[in-house]
Structure 1
Amino acid sequence: MNRQPALILAVHGTRDPHGTAVAHSLALRVGEITRVPTHLAFADVLTPSVGDVAASVPGPVVVVPAFLASGYHVRKDIPHQLARAGRADAVLAPALGAHPAVVATAHRRLLAAGHRDTDAVVLACAGTSDARARAELHDSARALAARLDTPVATGYIATGGPTVAEQVARLRAQGHERVSVAAWLLAPGLFHDRLADVGADVVAPPLCPDPAIAHAVAERYRQAAIPLPV
Structure 2
Amino acid sequence: MTPPLVLVAHGTRSARGVEMIAALAEALSAKVPRVHVSFVDVLGPSPSETLRDLGGEAAVVVPAFLASGYHVHTDVQREVEGFDVAVTRAMGPDPVLARVQHRRLREAGWRPGDAVVLAAAGSSDKRALADVRRAASMLADRVGSRVHIGYVATGEPRVADVVEKLRESGQRRVFVASYLLAHGLFQGRLHQAGADGVGEPLGVHPDVVDLVAERYRAGARELARARV
What SS does structure 2 have at the residue aligned with 1:132?
helix
What SS does structure 1 have at the residue aligned with 2:116?
strand
Counterparts of 2:58 and 2:203, CA distance in 1: 28
**Cα RMSD (Å) of the superposition?**
1.1
Q: 2:71 aligns with which of 67, 70, 73?
A: 73
Identity of aligned residues (%): 45
Q: CA shift at 1:185, angstroms?
A: 0.3
Partner amino acid, structure 2, of 1:41: S
Q: 2:173 aligns with which of 172, 178, 183?
A: 178
- The count of aligned residue pairs is 224
The equivalent of 2:10 in structure 1 is: 12
Partner amino acid, structure 1, of 2:192: D
TM-score by length of 1: 0.94
Q: CA shift at 1:184, angstroms?
A: 0.1
Q: 1:168 aligns with which of 148, 163, 169?
A: 163
What SS does structure 1 have at the residue aligned with 2:191?
helix
The equivalent of 1:28 in structure 2 is: 26
Counterparts of 2:113 and 2:44, CA distance in 1: 44
The equivalent of 1:40 in structure 2 is: 37
Asked if 1:53 is matched to 2:50, the reply is yes
The answer on whether the counterparts of 2:70 and 2:125 sit within 8 Å (CA) in structure 1 is yes
What SS does structure 2 have at the residue aligned with 1:64?
strand
Asked if 1:207 is matched to 2:202, the reply is yes
Q: CA shift at 1:14, angstroms?
A: 1.2
- What do the CA deviations read for 1:14-47 (whole angstroms, capped 9, x no partner)? 111111111101001112112x211011111111
Asked if 1:190 is matched to 2:188, the reply is no
- What do the CA deviations read for 1:142-183 (whole angstroms, capped 9, x no partner)? 110110001101110111111111111111111101100000
Q: CA shift at 1:98, angstroms?
A: 2.2
Q: 1:117 aligns with which of 112, 118, 123?
A: 112
Asked if 1:96 is matched to 2:91, the reply is yes
Q: Which runs of 5+ in 2 are unaligned?
A: none
- What do the CA deviations read for 1:69-112 (whole angstroms, capped 9, x no partner)? 001110101111122xx32x211100101232111111111111
- Following superposition, which runs of at least 4 residues in structure 1 exceed 2 angstroms of deviation? none
- What do the CA deviations read for 1:43-79 (whole angstroms, capped 9, x no partner)? 1111111221111113111110110000111010111
What SS does structure 2 have at the residue aligned with 1:32?
coil
Q: CA shift at 1:117, angstroms?
A: 1.3
Q: 1:138 aligns with which of 133, 141, 146?
A: 133
Q: CA shift at 1:195, angstroms?
A: 0.7
Counterparts of 2:47 and 2:205, CA distance in 1: 24
The equivalent of 1:148 in structure 2 is: 143
Q: CA shift at 1:113, angstroms?
A: 1.1
Counterparts of 1:100 and 1:52, CA distance in 2: 32
Moved more, 96-105 or 214-223: 96-105
Partner amino acid, structure 2, of 1:137: V
Q: CA shift at 1:209, angstroms?
A: 2.5
Partner amino acid, structure 1, of 2:169: Q
Q: CA shift at 1:118, angstroms?
A: 2.0
